[in-house]
Amino acid sequence: MNTIHHRIGALTESTEPVYEALTTIDGLANWWTVDTTGDASIGGKIEFRFPPGGFDMEVVELEPGAFVRWRVVDGPPEWIGTHIEFRLSRSDGYTIVNFAHTGWAEPVEFLSHCSTKWATYLLSLKQYAETGTGSPSPDDVQISDWD
List of residues contacting its own copies (CB under 8 A): 2-9, 91-94, 96, 98-100, 107, 109, 111-113, 115-116, 119-120, 122-123, 126, 141, 143-146
Residue 46 or 84: which CB sits closer to its own copies?
84
Counting Cβ atoms within 10 Å, is residue 63 exposed (0-12), middle (13-18) or buried (19+)? exposed
Residue 24 or 102: which CB sits closer to its own copies?
102
Q: How far is the CB of 105 from its own copies (least distance, A)?
A: 14
Q: How far is the CB of 25 from its own copies (least distance, A)?
A: 25
Q: Using CA atoms, how far apart are residues 31 and 27, in angstroms rounded to an integer? A: 7
Residue 9 or 27: which CB sits closer to its own copies?
9
Sign of the dihedral through C-alpha 143, 146, 136, 102: negative
Residue 125 identity? L
* Strand 67-74 to 53-63 pairing: antiparallel
